[in-house]
């Protein structure tokens, strides 16, 4: 092998090492770990606890209530009436 060709290969190797040293491998590694943890959760069929389902329902009811109040504030009487028709059990106010 010629000396000039050997020097070129060494120069390319040093350039690759310098470029490789500028990459943030921690961020890449954390993304890879998070992906594989998501796959493991999906593969094992991890179930959501019942408390979360109940709080999700309460959050939906709160969002419906905010929507209804917003419709009232903006004077959208027909929208409020339709919301009351669709969700009659949520209309009970004490």
pTM, 2 dp: 0.40
Confidence band, pLDDT 50/70/90 cuts, at residue 3: very high
Per-domain residue ranges for the chain?
25-94
Task: Label residues 40-78 b or e (16+ Cβ within 10 Å = b).
Answer: eeeeeeeeeeeeeeeeeeeeeeeeeeeebeebeeeeeee
DSSP state of 25: H
**42-82 residue pLDDT tens:** 555 555 555 666 667 778 888 888 888 888 898 988 988 88
């Amino acid at each position: 092998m010629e000396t000039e060709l050997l020097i070129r290969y060494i120069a390319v190797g040093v350039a690759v090492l310098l470029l490789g040293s500028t990459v943030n491998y921690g961020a890449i590694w954390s993304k890879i770990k998070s992906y594989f943890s998501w796959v493991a959760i999906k593969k094992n069929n991890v179930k959501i606890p019942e408390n979360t389902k109940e709080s999700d329902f309460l959050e939906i009811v709160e969002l419906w209530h905010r929507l209804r109040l917003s419709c009232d504030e903006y004077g959208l009487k027909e929208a409020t009436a339709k919301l009351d028709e669709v969700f009659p059990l949520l209309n009970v106010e004490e």
